[in-house]
């Protein structure tokens, strides 16, 4: 789909979501080969009529050059002429791909008054500045390393869900405030702009995430999201067979959790254009399931039996049982992700441990490792240190084990300094 057509759909998104009757379009779009049967079923199962309309508009933008004309034709065929006319009028003038859609300020004098010079005209208005042009040395460096020179580096949103509503049947997450403060101090030290939100419902979480994704990140080099909450496995079903990022996160109201896939999709190149080609990093302290890892003995420990009685009452998990009715209320069909890394506190399917007084094993270790080594090591090396330290956690011997992991779609090395 052309950029002008995507912009048109985004411009009229509210009207489309409000008035579109998506169920009338399904068979038409299938016949025209725009969607497969599985993809169409996923849209149908995304929720209410508005949810289905919203999902259809989002997915339509990923379906190639034939999608928009087929959508207009289907609207007319199903009697939704008002929407077809609304979108059709927007195509009456097709701008050159080199002309922006916003009024351009003129910074050059008139041709007859312009002095003879070969120097480029300088534009100082930050709203109209293009990408910074690197030197030859910098260009070579940026082929393999992300630019991290902005001050602040970018935004760091921390969602800290501690006190869950009684009807959610989820326990309070004692120790999470310790995690939140530690992460806040860490990323402030790493020159990020910190945004902290506490005890958000599912809807408020979605609004905060969407608000951050839609900010103008043109003068930032990175974006970080840290989520501290309860979670579950959010198993992949036939309705959502192409999910890249497992897991789901609860708001304090305990309603069906938000799939991590949905969270990440807000920040992809389609939905957050000013973050394109910039690293988007997600740190998730939440359980991936209900399994408790008791570990295995190394060669040096074969004659040693763990004493389960050493498990203390200070340990808690962020697990919640997987319930059949906890189907995600929306699933985004996003292009192959790039410049995204999602770091999980535990392996999918397993619980994540948190101490009531000292905070979670994952955040405690991550903050310690990053504080010590972030000035000289890249992100992947830092996360490997975190994984090794937690998996070999001597404090956990005789209780349970835990191993973090990440889904890495970064194209370059990322150094915070």
C-alpha span between 41 and 51 (Å, rounded): 13
Terminal-to-terminal C-alpha distance of the chain: 38
Name residues whose C-beta falls within 8 Å of residue 169's C-beta, 6 or more positions apart in sequence: 254
Q: Which residue has the tokens 């079903």?
A: 237
Beta bridge partners of 280: 223, 340
* Residue that is last in its domain, among 74, 89, 104: 89
The values of phi and psi at residue 105, to 5°, are -75, 140
Give the CATH number, domain containing residue 20. Answer: 1.10.533.10
Q: Is residue 262 part of a domain?
A: yes
Beta bridge partners of 196: 158
Q: pLDDT tens digits, residue range 214-267?
A: 999 999 999 999 999 998 876 544 344 445 788 899 999 999 999 999 999 999
Q: pLDDT tens digits, residue range 376-390?
A: 999 999 999 999 988
Q: Which of 159-163, 197-201, 401-405 shows the lowest mean pLDDT across its residues? A: 401-405
Beta bridge partners of 227: 159, 284
**Shared-domain flag, residues 270 and 351:** yes
Q: To the nearest 10°, report the CA torsion of 177, 181, 187, 190.
A: -160
Nearest Cα residue to 224 out of 267, 253, 286: 267
Q: pLDDT tens digits, residue range 69-84?
A: 999 999 998 999 889 8
C-alpha span between 154 and 76 (Å, rounded): 45
**Shared-domain flag, residues 375 and 232:** yes
Note down the domain range covering 36.
Answer: 3-89
**Shared-domain flag, residues 268 and 393:** yes
**Shared-domain flag, residues 238 and 334:** yes
What is the mean pLDDT of the segment spanning 7-33?
Answer: 88
Residue 93 has pLDDT above 60, yes or no: no
In this prediction, what percent of the chain has a pLDDT beyond 70?
Answer: 69
pTM for the whole thing? 0.58
Q: Is residue 288 part of a domain?
A: yes
Per-residue pLDDT, 235: 54
Average pLDDT over the chain, rounded to an integer: 76
Q: Is residue 30 part of a domain?
A: yes
Per-residue pLDDT, 338: 85
Q: Is residue 143 part of a domain?
A: no
Q: Is residue 100 part of a domain?
A: no
Model confidence band, residue 399 (pLDDT cutoffs 50, 70, 90): low
The values of phi and psi at residue 273, to 5°, are -60, -30
Angle at 405 between CA 198 and CA 224, to 5 degrees: 40
Q: Is residue 121 part of a domain?
A: no
- Taking CA atoms, 136 is separated from 133, 149, 151, 196, 277, in Å, by 9, 16, 22, 39, 19
Are the beta carbons of 361 and 353 closer than 8 angstroms? yes
Q: Which residues are catalytic?
A: 230, 287
C-alpha span between 179 and 26 (Å, rounded): 46
């Amino acid at each position: 789909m052309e950029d002008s057509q995507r912009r048109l759909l985004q411009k009229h998104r509210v009207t489309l979501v409000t008035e579109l009757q998506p169920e009338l379009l399904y068979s038409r779009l299938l016949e025209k080969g725009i969607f497969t049967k599985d993809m169409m079923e996923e849209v149908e199962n995304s929720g209410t009529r508005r949810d289905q309309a919203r999902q259809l508009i989002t997915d339509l933008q990923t379906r190639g050059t034939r999608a928009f004309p087929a959508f207009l034709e289907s609207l007319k065929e199903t009697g939704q002429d008002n929407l077809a006319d609304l979108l059709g009028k927007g195509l009456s003038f097709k701008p050159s791909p080199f002309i922006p859609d916003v009024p351009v300020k003129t910074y050059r004098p008139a041709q007859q008054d312009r002095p003879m010079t070969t120097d480029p005209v300088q534009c100082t208005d930050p709203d109209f500045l293009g990408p910074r042009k690197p030197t030859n040395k910098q260009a070579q460096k940026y082929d393999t390393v992300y630019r991290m020179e902005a001050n602040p580096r970018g935004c760091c949103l921390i969602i800290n869900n501690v006190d869950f509503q009684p009807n959610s049947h989820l326990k309070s997450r004692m120790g999470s405030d310790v995690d939140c403060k530690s992460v806040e101090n860490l990323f402030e030290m790493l020159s990020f702009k910190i945004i902290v939100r506490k005890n958000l419902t599912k809807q408020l979480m979605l609004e905060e995430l969407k608000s951050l994704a839609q900010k103008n990140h043109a003068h930032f080099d990175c974006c970080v999201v840290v989520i501290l909450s309860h979670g579950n496995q959010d198993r992949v079903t036939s309705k959502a067979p192409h999910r890249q990022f497992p897991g789901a996160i609860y708001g304090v109201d305990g309603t069906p959790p938000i799939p991590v896939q949905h969270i990440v999709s807000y920040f992809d190149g389609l939905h957050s254009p000013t973050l394109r080609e910039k690293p988007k990093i997600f740190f998730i302290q939440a359980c991936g399931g209900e399994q408790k890892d008791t570990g295995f003995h190394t060669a040096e420990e074969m004659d040693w039996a763990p004493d389960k009685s050493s498990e203390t009452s200070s340990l808690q998990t962020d697990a919640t049982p997987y319930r059949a009715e906890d189907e995600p209320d929306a699933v985004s069909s996003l292009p192959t992700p790039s410049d995204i890394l999602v770091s999980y506190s535990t392996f999918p399917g397993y619980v994540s441990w948190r101490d009531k007084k000292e905070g979670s094993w994952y955040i405690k270790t991550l903050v310690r490792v990053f504080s010590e080594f972030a000035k000289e090591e890249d992100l992947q090396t830092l996360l490997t240190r975190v994984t090794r330290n937690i998996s070999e956690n001597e404090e956990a011997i005789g209780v349970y084990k835990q191993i973090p992991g990440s889904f890495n779609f970064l194209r370059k090395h990322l150094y915070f300094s």
